[in-house]
Structure 1
Amino acid sequence: MPDITNHNHNDYALELLDITCTFRSRDDAGQRYTAVSNTTLRINAGEFVSVVGPTGCGKSTLLNIGAGLLESSLGEVRVFGEPLRGINTRAGYMFQSDALMPWRSALDNVMMGLQYRGVPDSEARAQGQVWLERVGLGEFGDRYPHQLSGGMRKRTALAQVLALDPDIILMDEPFSALDIQTRQLMENEVLDLWAAKKKAVLFITHDLDEAIAMSDRVVVLSAGPGTHPIGEFIIDLPRPRDVAEARNQPRFVALHTQIWNVLRDEVLKGYAQQLKKVA
């Protein structure tokens, strides 16, 4: 049973408050790099929020801090109003690359998190099968990751995260490696599954179209170092949404123009910095 004590409905699911994250390089004596600076980001329970920004601007750093995989240098993380200490056990994390165990079948991969939580094998197997069916892979439970296409591996990874029924879902560019058709199918599947359970989602993407088509709100980050939010946009497109159809709506085009005007300069700055590093 989820713990519903002490959570009034005004609580944010996830709050990153005045987060600064500075890394010290290993080789150069004490040289520091501030990836994220004075960043505050709040996500309501049931809200789908996307974060966009230039390459290398610290988007994944923020996600790792929200997951409790990385500790910020300054600031605080709160989960449903409680300070986060260690790993965020109320969050499920979907990585950019599949975190599937190659020696486990699709079903065994989906069951794994449940088994770690002490769910008996027979029950974990039954729940795992239900989730595979929900993501359209009911027939493929006995296949190993190398026997699945990229889209099927993503579906398996999604089932693995959702089987744990997390209150918060953290997604780090989960569909960037997929072809456009598979990607749109996956985006719609995520929206359908999200609409059924209304979890808080923090979604990191490079793709502004994807961010607008899926989200309630889009946050734009500046180029690094010291990335921070420079714009926030409410996405008032009606739901339920089909991501391909949403892109044809005049309101979508207007939002895209508005957000891109803020993002474009940062992308150019980020690009110039990447070139400097290469040179």
Structure 2
Amino acid sequence: MSDYALELLSISCTFHSKDDPGQRYTAVADTTLRVRAGEFVSVVGPTGCGKSTLLNVGAGLLEPSSGTIKVFGQTLAGVNARAGYMFQTEALMPWRSAIDNVMVGLQYRGVPDADARGQAEAWLSRVGLSGFGDRYPHQLSGGMRKRVALAQTLVLDPDIILMDEPFSALDIQTRQLMENEVLDIWSAPSRAAPRGSQGRKAVLFITHDLDEAIAMSDRVVVLSAGPATHPIGEFAIDLARPRDVAEVRTQPRFVELHTQIWEVLRDEVLKGYAQQLRKAA
């Protein structure tokens, strides 16, 4: 079995303009990104640089214009069945209760309702929502809805977890609680995890928050401003685990890493900001 859970190899994504089919826009150009089994990798870059595009490619939801996707050494064709995807925007069904939302993926896989309900209850308890299964999304706070979405993703026991800025809309206190929750769950051994991963899932985490990326990750990849985004830096995060995302920010090594990565990222953020201003003008 490959050491890598997910490999995006020489990926390029070019799109045609809806208004003018003759116009083309290259969002991602010749990008290679690998995530080892059990590794937590964050990708940071300016707004609109193509971070989510890469995540959609890894999920098998978007076919690249060129390049290859491999999942545990096998070339991906179609949807990545070994990955769970936690979206930036909520994917909860408003007409279903919390427990019914968590169950739905298992039901689609043909798991009997009684078994699906038992697994959903266990995961709601694990994310701190025991007793809230009968609540509907509108009856839950933003943080609680994110916990339901996390349980909805993890109940399917994916080998790879794809996360697209899942906590960006939360207040800072709730956000840090959710970040620690994810790290606790990710660190817990799983018998279903691939050999060599120390029982952990592989995580590809998209964020615009550099502090969040450093606090949570084993490795941080920096993307250039678009168009034709590509990796321009890669940093190993050698902070000890387990980590508390609030406490780790006070460590001198965290500050050193932040300074090093920001030196690479800063100019790209300024480029991206200038591009956004030109589009708005």
Shorter chain as normaliser: what TM range? over 0.9
User: Which residue does the alignment assign to 1:3?
Assistant: none
Structure 1 residue 26: deviation in Å? 1.3
User: Whole-Å Cα distance in 2 between the matches of residues 175 and 263 of structure 1?
Assistant: 21
Query: Which secondary structure state, in structure 2, belongs to the residue aligned with residue 27 of structure 1?
Result: coil
User: Which residue does the alignment assign to 1:268?
Assistant: 270
Equivalent position to 2:130, from 138, 145, 148: 138
Query: Which secondary structure state, in structure 2, belongs to the residue aligned with residue 264 of structure 1?
Result: helix
- Aligned ranges 1:24-173 → 2 under 5 Å: 24-173=16-165
User: Whole-Å Cα distance in 2 between the matches of residues 11 and 106 of structure 1?
Assistant: 36
Unaligned runs of 5+ in 1: 1-6
The number of residue pairs the alignment matches comes to: 271
Q: Deviations over 1:15-62 (max 9, x none)?
A: 000000000011113200000000000000000000000000000000
Amino acid paired to 1:42: R
User: Which residue does the alignment assign to 1:231?
Assistant: 233
User: Which residue does the alignment assign to 2:209?
Assistant: 207
Amino acid paired to 1:161: T
User: Whole-Å Cα distance in 2 between the matches of residues 25 and 139 of structure 1?
Assistant: 48
Amino acid paired to 2:206: I
Query: Which secondary structure state, in structure 1, belongs to the residue aligned with residue 27 of structure 2?
Result: strand
User: Whole-Å Cα distance in 1 between the matches of residues 21 and 117 of structure 2?
Assistant: 51
TM-score (norm 1): 0.96
Confirm or deny that 1:251 pairs with 2:253: yes
User: Whole-Å Cα distance in 1 between the matches of residues 133 and 90 of structure 2?
Assistant: 16
User: Whole-Å Cα distance in 2 between the matches of residues 29 and 200 of structure 1?
Assistant: 38
Amino acid paired to 2:57: I
User: Whole-Å Cα distance in 1 between the matches of residues 219 and 48 of structure 2?
Assistant: 22
Amino acid paired to 2:203: V
Query: Which secondary structure state, in structure 2, belongs to the residue aligned with residue 140 of structure 1?
Result: coil
Unaligned runs of 5+ in 2: 190-199
Q: Deviations over 1:215-249 (max 9, x none)?
A: 00000000000000000000000000000000000
User: Which residue does the alignment assign to 1:242?
Assistant: 244
Cα RMSD of the aligned pairs, angstroms, is 0.6
Structure 1 residue 11: deviation in Å? 2.5
Runs of 4+ in structure 1 over 3 Å off: none
Equivalent position to 2:13, from 12, 15, 21: 21
